[in-house]
Amino acid sequence: MTINLTTPIGIAITGPNPVNETDSQAGITLLDVDYNAQIATFTIRQGTAQVSILNAGVFPGTVLLSINMQTGAWTSTDSVNPSNNKSGTFTGAAFTTFVNMMKNLRNTVEGFVAGSSGILPGTQVNWP
């Protein structure tokens, strides 16, 4: 699933090799979770979507969204467009669901690592 942008970003570069780019969608392309610091950081790119792939545009910036998994405090930073630099607090049922998904992801991957993969054989103990 992607984000269909309310206002697509259009870029036109003239010259010997003209480029026209219209980025009408955005999506998460990378997730980094620091379970010790309890911070999840998402990289969001703009471009065009095809089936289950986002073709990231060349010119728009990258938006980073960092969420504190204990407090819900979040910040966004945009490498090109400062109007996307925002902050707030993620609360309610959606925040609880998000935290539970991050814990389940960690437990599932650790179970795989300790079990059938043979990477670090052992007994995985779920994080609460």
Q: Which domain holds residue 12?
A: 3-90
Q: What is the mean pLDDT of each run of 10 residues along the chain (128 residues)?
A: 83 80 88 98 91 82 94 94 93 98 96 96 93
Please report which helix (H) or strand (E) contains residue 35, including its range. Answer: none
* H or E element at residue 111: helix 92-114
Residue 102, domain member (yes or no): no
Identify the pLDDT of residue 17. Answer: 79
Domain-embedded: residue 46: yes
- 73 within domain boundaries: yes
With respect to residue 126, please indicate whether it lies within any of the assigned structural domains: no
**How high is the mean pLDDT of the chain?**
91
Nearest to 80 by CA among 57, 58, 55, 63: 63
Tokens 């437990």, located at residue: 107
Give 65-101 pLDDT, tens digit per residue: 999 999 999 999 998 888 889 999 999 999 999 999 9
* Exposed / middle / buried, residue 6 (Cβ in 10 Å: 0-12, 13-18, 19+): exposed
Number of domains in the chain: 1
Is 106 a domain residue?
no
Q: Domain for residue 120, yes or no?
A: no
Q: Is residue 99 part of a domain?
A: no
11 is a domain residue: yes
Query: What's this model's pTM, rounded to 2 decimal places?
Result: 0.86
Tokens of 85: 């630099």
